[in-house]
Amino acid sequence: MTDGPLAALLDREAVCDMLYRFAEALDLRDWALYRSVFADEVEIDYTSYRPGARSVMRAEDWVARGRARIDPLDATQHSMSNPRVTVDGDTATCTMYIEAQHVLTRDGIKAQYLIGGRYVDRLIRIGGEWKITAVTLQVRWNLGDPTVVGL
């Protein structure tokens, strides 16, 4: 990609689009799309959500973990906003606010769990496309029943 303001704007847009696809894939349960947003290895830090939930793993293993948590739910909605993108050559960092709603019906009664905070993601450009190499979830607040997502 060429240097300059237009290149920076296009990189910012492409990074944000990749992270929006991350959220969309979860909510649509499109596991092929979800896998496509990650590099082959990904560093995960969800310790603010679940103590001890920090590791480096193959993207396929991370997708399988996500699928095991999301598939049993009736619905999820991950809304992301306020992106702040920093690009340095073929690497990027993006922080974005997140609200993640999780809904599950138990015995005919809907239970919900809402998580609010922010994501801090690192990405790398591979073959001209941005891929996520690290995801950190910083939970700031939550509402509802955490057992909806197995906590």
Alpha helices in the chain (DSSP H): 5-28, 31-36, 59-70
Look at residue 67 in the predicted model and tell me its pLDDT.
96
**How many CB atoms sit inside 10 A of residue 12's CB?**
17
CATH, residue 112: 3.10.450.50
Q: What is the pTM of this model?
A: 0.92
Domain count, the chain: 1
Taking only the tens place, the pLDDT of each residue in 65-88 is 999 999 999 999 999 999 999 999
Residue 104 is part of which domain span? 5-149
